[in-house]
Amino acid sequence: MGYRVAIVGATGAVGTELIHILEQRRFPVDSLRLFASERSAGKQLRFHDEWLPVETLHANAFKGVEIAFFSAGATRSREFAPHAVRAGALVIDNSSAFRLEPEVPLVIPEINGATAQQHHGIIANPNCSTILMLMALAPLLTLTHIQRIIVATYQAASGAGAQAMQELLEATRAYLQNEPFEPRVLPHPYAFNLFSHNSPVGEDGYNEEERKIMLESRKILNVPELAVSATCIRVPILRAHSESIHLELSHRPPLPTIREAYRAFPGVQLVDDRARNHFPMPIEATGRDEVLVGRLREDHALPNGLALFACGDQLRKGAALNAIQIAELLTQ
């Protein structure tokens, strides 16, 4: 049985990744419709051996669609997702529009997949940094409780979209050729530089990305009082985010037990070779479905403390792959 599928935001970085992963995982697609803004209308994108036209998004576009993946930003999702639901489609939304709505499941299949069944037409895909962090912590949750999370993220250009990835390439080329370059997508020079995440900063001093990690983690883990503090930084990496995570646990199992839990958990790969000084790197996480985890060690600054480092492909498990895994949960 195949499904009638639509992708909203099909020409963006996550949209094109959705197309690739649907093909790679042989998701049962009977028909695929691609939607984007007016400036992309008329383009063609390949799915399997067929070139499909990109259509302009409009309110009546979802007739006959059964599953609609949205990846065109919160404004578009708020405007058009209700139309898709009224047309009978299940919406899996990659924006921040519905993540904190009480009636909308916020799902990482390996962690809280059962909540997807409670949907009322919309399921939210968490923020990329939240997904990667919680995947890196999930094996620990089989052993102990987490009391406190302190995380610093090193976020790649892919998190800001295809135009930011192109800007990093152009800025790096200009820097190496000693030519001037004026940023157009991001607020600061990107090549050989890093800066605080380019999202609005609230009165409490936390930016929007940091707030997403804190609030979404509490919802996904169903621990409303979980202590989480995040610092999010944009780094000149093309693709794959990294995170340095420090934890306070209710009790700390022995490190060999922790390592075994990581080896056994689906969607995570342990990369923790102290002898070779080989640990997770974004260059090795790029294109991978697994979140790479390593640098496992006791954190002596926290009670029952544990420190680790993780890398994951922002466009795959951090976005498109997680969305498709949600769809797989509900169609198997």
Q: What residues pair up with 269 in beta bridges, in sequence order?
A: 292
Beta carbons of 106 and 124 less than 8 angstroms apart: yes
Distance, in Å, from the CA atom of 258 to the CA atom of 253, rounded to the nearest integer, reads 7
CA distance linking residue 69 with residue 112, whole number of Å: 19
For residues 128 and 155, what is the distance between their CA atoms, to the nearest angstrom? Answer: 10
Q: Which of 119, 197, 241, 311 is catalytic?
A: 241
In 3-state terms the chain splits into helix, strand, coil percentages (rounded to 5) of 35, 25, 40
* Tally of residues, the chain: 332
Which residues are registered as beta bridge partners of 70?
8, 93
Q: Which of 128, 197, 232, 311 does the annotation list as catalytic? A: 128
188 is catalytic: no
Does 311 qualify as catalytic in the annotation? no
Beta strands, E only, the chain: 3-8, 29-36, 44-47, 50-56, 67-70, 90-93, 122-124, 146-155, 195-196, 227-234, 241-249, 268-270, 291-299, 305-312
Return d(Cα 319, Cα 40) in angstroms, integer. 21
CA–chain centroid gap for 252, Å, is 28
Which residues are catalytic, by number?
128, 241
